[in-house]
Amino acid sequence: MYCKNCGKEIFPDQNICSNCGAQQHPIQEKDSGGFGYSVLGFFFPFIGLILFLVLRETKPNTAKAAGIGALAGEITKVVLFILLIVIQVASVRMSMMP
């Protein structure tokens, strides 16, 4: 790792450059969101919710992806359940007709 101010090589755990005294900022981990977390949250909403709660401080984009996947999964489940009820009621009514 090199100092952002003077370019001298420094240890990765150093917060201040020993050559020029410039403050060094830690390297941020990449937080791209992750499509896989969305899919996982969609098919397993409870796991998506847990991931959202655990990762929301450290990796907000990944947490958001897991949360959106979980929400989309639950909404899809409710819509399919309502559609199933409507189809069942229509089927019963059709069978009662002469």
Q: Model confidence at 92, in pLDDT bands (50, 70, 90)?
A: very high
Q: Among candidates 74, 62, 71, 58, which has minimal Cα distance to 37?
A: 62
Nearest to 63 by CA among 76, 47, 44: 47
Q: pTM for the whole thing? A: 0.65
Q: Are residues 52 and 92 in the same domain?
A: yes
Strand partners, 23: 16
Indicate if 87 and 58 belong to the same structural domain: yes
Same structural domain, 23 and 44: no
Give me the pLDDT at residue 50, please.
95
Q: Is pLDDT above 90 for 11? A: no
Residue 26 in this model has a pLDDT that exceeds 80: no
Domain tally for the chain?
A: 2
Asked whether residue 62 falls in the same domain as residue 83, the answer is: yes
> What's the CA dihedral at 35, 37, 41, 43 to 10 degrees?
70
User: Residues 44, 84: one domain?
Assistant: yes
Average pLDDT over residues 46-52: 94
Domain limits for position 10: 1-27
Closest CA to 53 of 42, 31, 29, 45: 45
Q: Please compute Rg for the chain using Cα positions.
A: 26
Same domain, 68 and 89: yes
Same domain, 39 and 10: no
Higher pLDDT, 18 or 47: 47
Largest separation between any pair of C-alpha atoms in the chain: 94
Shared domain for 4 and 22, answered yes or no, is yes
* pLDDT exceeds cutoff 90 at 87: yes
Same domain, 22 and 39: no
Same domain assignment for residues 54 and 88: yes
